[in-house]
Structure 1
Amino acid sequence: MDEKTQVATALQTALPDMSIEDIKNKLERPKTNKNGDYAFPTFFLAKELHKAPQMIAGELIEKIDQTGFEKVVAAGPYINFFLDKANVGAGILKEILADPEHYGNLDLGHQANVTIDMSSPNIAKPMSMGHLRSTVIGNAIANIMKKVNYNPIKIDHLGDWGTQFGKLMAAYEMWGDEEAVKADPINTLQKYYVKINTEADEHPEYAEAGREWFRKLEDGDEEAVRLWKWFRAESLKRFMKVYDMLDVQFDSYNGEAFYNDKMDEILQLLNDKHLLQKSRGAGIVDLSKYDLNPAMVQKSDGSTLYMTRDLATALFRKRMYGFEQSLYVVGAEQSYYFQQLKATLATMGFTWSKQIHHIPFGLMTLNGKKMSTRKGNVVQLEEVLDESIKLARQQIAEKNPDLANADQVAQEVGVGAIVFHDLKNERTNSINFKLEDAVKFEGETGPYVQYAHARAESLLRKAGNPDLAGADLKLNDEESWNIIKLLGQYQETIKRAAVKYDPSLIGKYALSLAKAFNQYYAHTRILVDDDQKLARLALVQAVSDVLKSALALLGVKAPDEM
């Protein structure tokens, strides 16, 4: 039984009409240890019992089963519970050491499928810093969902179709150099794309040429298809290099092109249900009952749109995976669009539209400036990762010049710094990215948390990695308890992160645990030989294990030495 359940069970002896879950939902955590470990407010009972909250607290405490607590006291309108620190702490440490890999696991999902639409870069364009957020937030959510026993299915819905490919083919026809593309595909194609967009105002015929090439592609023209396949294959190679650096894998790379032959069914279904209305020649679906603008699913010339494709995508994924949840990790600026998508599916009679969730995130700026592929002011993610690894390597050389596997650690620290810098922030907040801030070994950074883990491992090596099985794990001091309380909150933090789709809760938890451990390390003689040495080392081992687990949920490695 976890501590929160223990407190709720004790309270239920005095409040038999309340369920354990209702009581747990009312419990609060006091800001300081002097007010106990859990507090139960009685304000909500005042109206029902016609008594002052202070009086209710005083009466309830007489009925509470206080077995297993250090003490339970009434403090004004609150009932404060002080846990039996030594026994509770020993139980938490024992649980972690027995199975560190599965500590914090929950069964919220019962192995149900969750599709996660994430990353989704556009073919023939470099992966920019703008793609970082969707990629790492989606990956962390997948890890968290797996930890609570869902089966995450990560989908890289590649932007591999659309009029921009027509523009690119037109540009290649005018200025293309096959050898230059083969030597550096993404950057060369990017130059062509920027050039045709930059000069389109002076040369309106460029836009027409782009439309013509896209028509050829849609009609299956041999040369257009050849170029498209070539651009796609070369782009995927480059994307895979970045994904390998981030240690992100996908279960599907089906992009927009995959759904070309699946949109007719959507239009047919809309027609059959008499939902497809005409407005100025275009096909729309009325969403007024949802207080939304109509969803346009067909242009006046009969061609389809993103909405048509996304309706087909949602239906295919439901049939293919039978998902219980379908998550779209896409920027906050698309929130209204996803409301329309869900409403259109609901209008079509698909009740599972309620299982679709847009996971929005804020804009990332670089040194205060917005990035744009079309205008050419884009910062490539691969370059930022390389630079971060280089900065990490420099700091490692200064702090630990004799580190055996310095290059591998620099890779793990440099990449981890970029990932953690994003994920420690609430995803809906905008981020202004500064590389130097992310790679610092001090402050609220990934390297700071990694260093706390490495410090714990170093202590265990100095102690000779003792066998802790069967040791007396009871600790009574305040700083030990501060850490143990945090360790005991890991599962609850994971649960909230899963329910809210918010990896920042894990990031903030890891920072809190690292700070508490560093404080403990500074004030406690951990390796001194006394009767609590093994208990202190068990605490160090538990911190190391949980920090490693939390970082792994975020997609960040935890080196044993730095």
Structure 2
Amino acid sequence: MNLKAVYTNALYRILQEELSEEEIGKLIEHPKHEAHGDLAFPCFRLASVRKEAPQKIAGALAEQMNDPLIEKAEAAGPYVNVFFKREAVNAEALSQLSVLGAEYGDKIRTGENVVFDFSSPNIAKPFSMGHLRSTIIGRSLANLAEKNGYKAVKINHLGDWGTQFGKLMCAYTRWGSEAEVRKNPIPTLMKYYVHYHEEVKEDPGLDDEARGWFKKLEDQDVEAVKLWMWFKEESLKEFNKVYELLGITFDHVQGESFYNDKMAPVVADLEEKGLLVESEGAMVVETGTDEPPCLIKKKDGTTLYATRDLAAAIYRKKQFDFHKCVYVVGAEQQLHFSQVRQVLGRMGYDWTGDMVHVPFGLILQGGKKMSTRKGKIVLLEDVLRDAITRAEENIAEKNPSLEDKDAVAADVGTGAVVFHDLKNERMNSVEFNLEQMLTFEGETGPYVQYTHARAMTLLERAEADPAPASPGEGEEEWAVVKELLAFPDAVERAWTQYEPSVIAKYVLSLSSAFNSYYGKVRILESDDRLPARLSLVKAVTDVLKEGLRLLGVKAPDKM
């Protein structure tokens, strides 16, 4: 049930000669004050067409309004405010929710693939907080795509190729120790990488040595490949610890190296089409816009990030025939993805408009971007484990007899970190603050999880079974039902805007409405309305659990 659609249809029956259903739907608003009704229709558009005062039109429309779910319509100046029949809407909404359960808000399956390129940590570097945003925004968007009827194809495009490996090999062969690396792989490799950037300031010739190492890697030099494989294996072990904590899986783990044998045909195609030109010894493609040319090959013949992304895009289109290919990558890569799309377009591909870059803001530390070069890094695994430990302490203090304490602590701790990020609009940068992130009060993941657990406890204690009917027509019940009815729209908006924060804000709002209802209504009182009230509680648990799932957060039944 969609109250906006109900009002739209009622208005369309009156105004079909003047406005389309789509036009009417876009004009309908939510009044700022409850006393002004549930929905409002402004008459300014009609006034300009009819050449009449909007107040007069509003009065006439209010008198003509007729729908079985609308209690009354009132003209308030230039607006037509409608009030719905709460008992009827409550009963119909809860009946629908009881049937659909977790499938409430699902769209019809399209069978179309949406490819997601996200997370993509760099081999031989720690999985830092800097990779949190791409990882959890990407996972949430994949969940939202599935909810909206698509088949999500989740790809981890590992940063396992590039000049940084030349730098690391240079550092390891100059200052490294195999024993030291084997004892503590990632921190040690990170130490070498930071040391390289300190030394290169005094000895710029190291950059040439590093480029030489990467060229050897591209040419399949035995020593270079052996080092690269070792660094990669150790890194994946560390990454998988983080993915396991977050409950994240991928359909394909295809690093940049996966496309090594797919780049030559792309370069040949560019040459054949006359698009590849020389610029200061390097090979570039002019984008045909005001943007700088796209660099395809360096002077020494090594390929670049753009070359691999061109090959990756062509491979993914052939392999998955995607409806959309979504790149969840930081805002600083905006120019890069624009260039890749422009080059593919010049190559004759007509699907470049289906490549979507979903940028996001930074995680800042002290107002500055986190950097691996200078060693200013906060490890994501450490943050998650710290969050879990704090959740364990919280449980030990408030509910020491809780069953499955370790599992609940893991769900609450990781949920706190994930929710703290996703409640922010993705383009906003987020200041890293461990204390704030792990607060278990206010607008947090644990607050929503606790609301779900509270509702589950009510269902467990009840001496009746939920039965869909109207639980009453009071303000508290109505506020909860209206929030429940808003879920499908929130699911659609979150997907079309590529904005998980829409869902985070929604579950906070639903939790607030339910907790107000819980505080003012004797839900478990044994009377004729008890089964209906339990039906409302059950609907809240279903929607909160599903909303949290879309964000990648679990909903424990008890806390």
Q: Does structure 1 residue 71 correspond to structure 2 residue 72?
A: yes
User: CA, structure 1 residues 390+226, in 2 after alignment: closer, same or farther (shift >3 Å)?
Assistant: same
Q: Specify the SS of the correspondent of 1:99.
A: helix
Counterpart Cα distance in 2 of 1:283 and 1:192: 32
* 1:255-334 matches, cutoff 5 A: 255-288=255-288, 290-334=289-333
> C-alpha displacement at 1:439, in angstroms?
2.2
Partner of 1:339 in structure 2? 338
- CA 1:241–1:104 in structure 2 vs 1: closer, same or farther (change >3 Å)? same
Aligned to 1:124: 124
Give the counterpart letter for 1:394 in structure 2.
E
Name the residue aligned to 1:478. 475
**Contiguous gaps of at least 5 residues in structure 1:** none
After superposition, the C-alpha distances for 1:171-205 in whole angstroms (9 at most, x for unaligned) are 22233332332232111211111122222222344
TM-score (norm. length: structure 1): 0.96
Equivalences for residues 74-89 of structure 1 within 5 A:
74-89=75-90
Indicate whether 1:500 and 2:500 are aligned. Answer: no
1:402-449, Cα deviation, whole Å (9 max, x unpaired): 212211111100000000000000000010121222222211110111
Q: Which residue is 1:167 aligned to?
A: 167
Match of 1:217 in 2: 217
Please tell me whether residue 153 in structure 1 is matched to residue 182 in structure 2: no
Q: Pairwise mapping of residues 26-65 of structure 1 onto structure 2 (< 5 A)?
A: 26-65=27-66
Aligned to 1:489: 486
Check whether the contact 1:439–1:447 (CA below 8 A) recurs between aligned residues.
no
Return closer, same or farther for 1:474/1:522 CA change in 2, 3 Å cut-off: closer
- Any idea what SS the aligned residue of 1:357 has? strand
Decide which moves more: 414-423 or 433-442: 433-442
Contact 2:12–2:20, Cα closer than 8 Å, also in 1: yes
* Deviation for aligned residue 1:323: 0.3
* Residue 96 in structure 1 maps to residue 93 in structure 2: no
Residue 280 of structure 1 deviates from its aligned partner by 2.4
Partner of 2:232: 232
**What CA distance in whole angstroms lies between the structure 2 residues aligned with 1:183 and 1:124?**
14
Find the counterpart in structure 1 of residue 20 from structure 2.
19
In terms of mean alpha carbon deviation, does 412-421 or 427-436 score higher? 427-436
1:513-550, Cα deviation, whole Å (9 max, x unpaired): 11111111111111112222222111111111111110
Number of residue pairs aligned between Structure 1 and Structure 2: 558
**8 Å contact 2:471–2:536 — kept in the other structure?**
no
CA distance in 2, matches of 1:94, 1:193: 60
Aligned to 2:557: 560
Q: For 1:46, give the aligned amino acid.
A: A
- Write out per-residue CA displacement over residues 294-320 of structure 1, whole angstroms, 9 at most, x where no aligned residue: 222222333322111111111111111
CA distance in 2, matches of 1:207, 1:450: 51
- Confirm or deny: 8 A CA contact 1:473 1:534 kept in the other structure: no
Which portions of structure 1, spanning 4 or more consecutive aligned residues, are displaced by more than 6 angstroms?
none
- Which amino acid is 1:114 matched to? V
Deviation per CA, 1:473-495, whole angstroms, max 9, x where unpaired? 34211011001000000000000
Q: 1:367: Cα distance to partner? A: 4.8
Contact 2:121/2:131 (8 A) holds in 1: yes
Task: Give me the whole-angstrom Cα distance separating, in 1, the residues matched to 2:56 and 2:470.
Answer: 39
Q: Residue 257 of structure 1 aligns to which amino acid in structure 2?
A: S
The answer to whether the 8 A contact 2:469-2:535 is kept is no
Percent identity over paired residues: 51
Indicate if the aligned counterparts of 1:296 and 1:307 stay in contact, CA closer than 8 A: yes
Mean Cα displacement is larger for which, 241-250 or 8-17? Answer: 8-17
CA distance in 2, matches of 1:519, 1:348: 59
- Give the distance between the partners of 2:98 and 2:247, measured in 1 at CA: 27
Secondary structure in 1 matching 2:465 = coil
Instruction: Pick one of 504, 507, 515 that aligns with 2:512.
Output: 515
In 2, are the aligned partners of 1:332 and 1:361 still within 8 Å (CA)?
A: yes
- For 2:146 and 2:385, the matched residues in 1 are separated by 30
- Distance in 2 separating the partners of 1:176 and 1:186: 13
Match of 1:540 in 2: 537
1:89-128 deviations in Å (ceiling 9; x for gaps): 1111121122211011113x61210111101000011110
Asked if 1:199 is matched to 2:192, the reply is no
**Counterpart of 2:492 in structure 1: which amino acid?**
K
CA contact 1:158–1:256 (8 Å) conserved in 2: yes
Query: Secondary structure in 2 aligned to 1:339?
Result: helix
C-alpha distance after superposition, 1:262-309 (max 9, x if no partner): 112222222222222232233222224x33222222223333221111
Structure 1 CA distance for aligned equivalents of residues 34 and 499 of structure 2: 28
Q: Secondary structure at the match of 1:201?
A: helix
Residue 327 of structure 1 deviates from its aligned partner by 0.5
SS of the residue aligned with 1:386?
helix
CA-CA distance at 1:19 after TM superposition: 2.8
Query: In the TM superposition, what whole-angstrom CA distance separates every residue of 1:11-37 from its partner, at most 9, and x where no partner exists?
Result: 111111333232222211112221111
TM score, norm. by length of structure 2: 0.97
Q: Is the 8 A contact 2:471 2:477 kept in 1?
A: no
2:391 alignment partner in structure 1: 392
In 2, Cα distance between the equivalents of 1:256 and 1:22?
46
Superposition CA RMSD, Å: 1.5
Amino acid at match of 2:62: I
**C-alpha contact (below 8 Å) 1:13/1:63 kept by paired residues:** no
CA contact (8 A) 1:66 1:72 kept: no
Task: For 1:226, give the aligned amino acid.
Answer: K
SS in 1 for 2:253: coil
Q: 1:467 — aligned with what?
A: 465
Deviation, 1:369, is 4.1
Contact 1:13 1:64 in 2 (8 A): no
Q: Does 1:376 align with 2:386?
A: no
Residue type matched to 2:135 in 1?
A: T
1:241 CA drift (Å): 0.8
Structure 2: which amino acid aligns with 1:28? E
Distance 1:499 1:384 in 2: 31
Q: Aligned partner of 2:267: which letter?
A: L
**Deviation (angstroms), 1:158:** 0.5
What is the letter of the counterpart of residue 105 of structure 1?
D
Contact 2:471 2:530 in 1 (8 A): no
Distance 1:29 1:549 in 2: 25
Partner Cα separation in structure 2 for residue 144 and residue 488 of structure 1:
18
